Amino acid sequence: PAIYVVCGFAGRACSSLYVSSSRLVWASRLLVLSCVVACVLEVVIVYPYFIAFFNAGVGGPSQGYKHLVDSSLDWGQGLPALRDFIHSTAANATSRPIFYVSYFGLGNPLFWNITSAEAY
C-alpha cells in the first residue's frame, strides 16, 4: 500500500520538475524519482517470485532465507523453475543425478513432473 503514496509523490515531483529553477528543489525531486525507479527495478528483477521479495536493504532475495523460512518464502511458484533445472541438469549429466526435494506447500511437485528420491 505504501507504493501508491510513493508513486503519488514521484508523480507530483515529476510534474513540476521543470517549473522550479532552484537546484536544491530539482535535486530533491530527482532523488525521489531515482528511488522510485530503484524500487521498480527491484520488483522487476524478482519477477515472478514476488512472495519471496526482499529489498536491497536486507540483502535482497538471495539473503531472504536468513529472515524467513518455509511457506513464507515459497508457495509453489518456484516449482516450474525447479522442474526446468532438474531436466536441464539431467540432460547435461553423464549419469542421472539424484535430487532430494523437501517441499511443503499448496502445489504438487508431481503435477510439474518433478520426481525426487525419498529424503527420509
Pick from 72, 23, 35, 82: nearest CA to 50: 72
When pLDDT is averaged across residues 82-108 and rounded to a whole number, the result is: 76
State residue 93's pLDDT score: 62
When pLDDT is averaged across residues 90-114 and rounded to a whole number, the result is: 76
When pLDDT is averaged across residues 9-30 and rounded to a whole number, the result is: 73
State residue 57's pLDDT score: 81
CA distance 76 to 18: 47
Assess whether pLDDT exceeds 70 at residue 20. Answer: no
User: What percentage of the chain reaches a pLDDT higher than 70?
Assistant: 82
pLDDT tens by residue, 31-72: 889 988 988 888 888 887 777 778 788 888 788 778 777 666
- Contact (Cβ atoms closer than 8 angstroms) between residue 66 and residue 59: yes
**Can you give the length of the chain in residues?**
120
> Does the predicted model carry a pTM greater than 0.85?
no
**Number of helices and strands in the chain (H, E):** 3, 0
CA distance 15 to 9: 10
